[in-house]
Amino acid sequence: MRESDILVLGGGPAGGAVAIGLSRLGYRVTLVSEPRPFDAVEGISERVIQGMQGAGFGFALSAMAEPSPRQVTWNGVTNAANTERLVTRQRFDQALLLDLARQGVQVIQGRIQSCHAMKTGYQAEVALSAGGQEQIYGDFLVEARGRAAPAAGVPRIKGTQTVSLLQYWQGAHAVPCTAVQSFADGWAWLAMRADGRRYLQLTLDVASVALPPKRQLGDWCRERLQQLEQAQPFIEGAEPVGEVYARTSTPVLCEQSAGHNWIRVGDAAMAVDPLSGNGIFQALSSALQAPAVVNTLIRHPERAELARQFHEARIEGLFYRFARIGRDFYAQESQWPDTPFWQARRQWPDRQPMHLEITPDQVTTAMRPVVQDGVIIEAPVVVTPDQPLGIWHLNGLPLAPLLDAIRSEPGTLPAAVLARTVGIDKGALLAQWMQQQRWV
Ligand code: FAD
């Protein structure tokens, strides 16, 4: 049996980022993954590139196309100001495995058939892609199998049930581009690659759309696409190829995402609607600080509860932030206020505005978990209604003691109080910034 300190299940962006992070912290990491079973193309924005560079995804980045134009038709208005990069996921994920191997992670390609908790650690049974079986043991388990991760017994919060139907079309070579268009009972994401391959995806409400039997699904999608104005350049001179692939895209949050010797990251911990096109970004966001959580759980068991709370609060915070961004975007579409698709999504997950009005009396300082030198510690932070996890530093300056100092001298100008600690120039700038944030 192969043994390691850390066993990572799933080699997408989340599993990959955690595996590299833990390998950099000196752990022996084994990651098991198989390629996703279908050919998916996804779009990412430029800000994700920076996160990937930091995560060590050199080969994976080189598998990505140059930015291509993106046209969005929403609420009857067309906007063509943005770009996105198309990622062919099978190619990207394969390149990511090369990044992992190059950075010291033991990569096993195969299907995880089962994984059991042992007296200490976890043991996975793997059907190897190259043939044969292997048992792999890890003292600590990272669950990163995305939406496919088993979740029996895990309490979960779910949004409105949503499905995305992906139909491949093939036409002549073309200039790569993407488009989004809303319609009465959903929205479409349309992508064209340089080789003429088109990925045409319809996202729909599971409860209210009567889908035909599987064998008629291809014709059904074709008819729907033919009615969409934005789809015309993608289907003209092209033909559907192969089966329609259905992906569940219901938002889901696991209410428990860490224990003393396991952690869930990426879509295995929380996944939102593909509307935001932020899935890879979120997967990375949830994974980049996970190595510090795991490191604390292993090396500082006395702070295990703090580390667990930190991870779960971050996952929950990310989930609601992206869910509310999605809700507000859905709410901008007002052409079909009465159809179930739009009605349900414009009010989920809640009514809380994305940006809360802040008044100084709502801003407090408190001890909260933060990441320092690869571990979770507790430090004083500034807590606001918008930032319940707290803000620790700004340009290297710890903010909570500075805010406390200002508040201890109510009759003195904030800039004058800060000048004593950080100097006149920095003090003036910081006081101005705190006033803009409505902290003082
Ligand atoms: P994944 O990327 O899903 O990685 C999990 C890995 O584990 C996969 O390689 C899988 O094959 C492997 N695995 C699973 N089970 C097993 C097993 N039993 N044995 C071995 N290996 C296994 N995000 C964007 O940024 N842009 C988009 O345009 C976009 N479009 C989307 C459209 C749809 C319809 C959906 C559903 C999602 C979309 N996303 C998009 C979201 C994005 O795909 C995910 O959020 C992101 O890939 C999550 O990363 P992850 O590492 O958590 O999981």
pLDDT in tens, 70-83: 999 999 999 998 99
Please work out whether the CB of residue 164 comes within 6 Å of at least one atom of ligand 1.
yes
**Which domains can be identified in the chain, with CATH numbers?**
2-66+86-150+251-330 (3.50.50.60), 162-248 (3.30.9.100), 360-436 (no CATH)
Please work out whether the CB of residue 280 comes within 6 Å of at least one atom of ligand 1.
yes
Minimal-distance CA residue to ligand 1 atom 2: 12
What's the 283 CA to ligand 1 centre distance in angstroms? Answer: 9
pLDDT of 277 higher than 80: no
What's the 395 CA to ligand 1 centre distance in angstroms? Answer: 34
pLDDT of 2 higher than 90: no
pLDDT at 286: 86
pLDDT of 275 higher than 90: no
pLDDT at 273: 87
Which ipTM was obtained for this model? Answer: 0.99
pLDDT of 46 higher than 90: no
CB-based contacts of 204-213 (< 8 A; 24+ apart in sequence)? 204/162, 204/163, 204/164, 204/165, 204/341, 205/160, 205/161, 205/162, 205/340, 205/341, 205/344, 206/161, 206/162, 206/163, 206/250, 207/160, 207/161, 207/340, 208/339, 208/340, 208/341, 209/185, 209/341
pLDDT at 51: 87
pLDDT of 410 higher than 90: yes
Atom of ligand 1 nearest to the CA of 271: 45
Please work out whether the CB of residue 86 comes within 6 Å of at least one atom of ligand 1.
no
**To test ligand 1's pocket by mutation, which of 267, 270, 285, 315 has the most ligand atoms within 8 angstroms of CB?**
267
For 325-364, what is each residue's pLDDT tens digit? 999 999 999 999 999 999 999 999 999 999 888 999 999 9
Average pLDDT of the segment spanning 297-308: 98
